[in-house]
């Protein structure tokens, strides 16, 4: 909501080279981390995940850290090339950089999260799977802060296309549906999918359609 408001109002004030909106976002992020950390300390991991500690005895922490670091490095270097390719494709296809970034690039960069979430579900770590999805969304909102640091100009959110306001509003709606589902825990399912899952699915594709149509016109 803060990002959408910033894109709408386009504030130009900078504090130490960073937009006020970006500062608010990153401070809210760290505040959220503190709240989540304090809450998680009150719960037992085994109770949350439903998995006994013996199930993880075969895993080595140092080896796991090494594998994680290697995977992260590969993703970082791949992302650098991916941004250039996506920009070229946007020019060649005429779809626009907003559509390419919001849909195509977002899908590609979210694939590691999807695979990790599915792996967490396989070991019945359901909270971990949901945390990956919601946590990634939260972390992404710190990107404007780092973008402002390296961008020599006004706050990054004040110079982007108005199309991104639609993306932000869709994100707010879909995230609200997910939060409501976590809070109220509806039991009904349609074709083995919960009502919230269907609403998110349909809302996402409706959002894609709107962004695509507007992007073509621009």
- Report pTM: 0.68
Give the position of tokens 């959002």.
207
**Across all residues in the chain, what is the average pLDDT?**
79
147 or 100: which leads in pLDDT: 147
The enclosing H or E element of 165 equals helix 163-184
Q: What is the pLDDT of residues 165-197, one digit of tens each?
A: 888 888 889 888 888 888 888 778 777 778 888
Domain ranges of the chain: 2-217
Interhelix angle 126-140/106-122, rounded to 10 degrees, is 160
CA atoms within 13 A on the CB side of 90: 19
CB 6 within 8 A of CB 162: no
The enclosing H or E element of 15 equals strand 14-15
The enclosing H or E element of 89 equals helix 61-93
What does the alpha-carbon distance between residue 110 and residue 117 come to, in Å, rounded to a whole number?
Answer: 11
């Amino acid at each position: 909501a803060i990002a959408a408001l910033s894109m709408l109002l386009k504030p130009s004030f900078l504090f130490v080279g960073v937009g006020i909106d970006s500062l608010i976002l990153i401070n809210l992020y760290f505040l959220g981390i503190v709240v989540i950390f304090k809450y998680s300390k009150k719960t037992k991991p085994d109770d949350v995940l439903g998995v006994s500690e013996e199930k993880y005895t075969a895993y080595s922490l140092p080896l796991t850290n090494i594998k994680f670091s290697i995977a992260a490095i590969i993703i970082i270097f791949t992302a650098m090339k991916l941004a250039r390719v996506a920009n070229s494709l946007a020019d060649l296809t005429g779809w626009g950089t907003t559509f390419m970034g919001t849909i195509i690039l977002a899908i590609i960069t979210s694939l590691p999260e999807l695979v990790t979430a599915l792996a967490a579900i396989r070991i019945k770590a359901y909270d971990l799977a949901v945390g990956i999805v919601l946590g990634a969304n939260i972390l992404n909102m710190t990107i404007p802060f780092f973008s402002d640091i390296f961008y020599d100009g006004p706050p990054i959110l004040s110079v982007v296309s108005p199309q991104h306001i639609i993306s932000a509003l869709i994100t707010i709606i879909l995230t609200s549906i997910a939060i409501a589902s976590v809070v109220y825990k509806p039991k009904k399912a349609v074709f083995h999918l919960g009502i919230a899952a269907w609403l998110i699915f349909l809302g996402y594709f409706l959002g894609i359609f709107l962004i695509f149509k507007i992007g073509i016109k621009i």
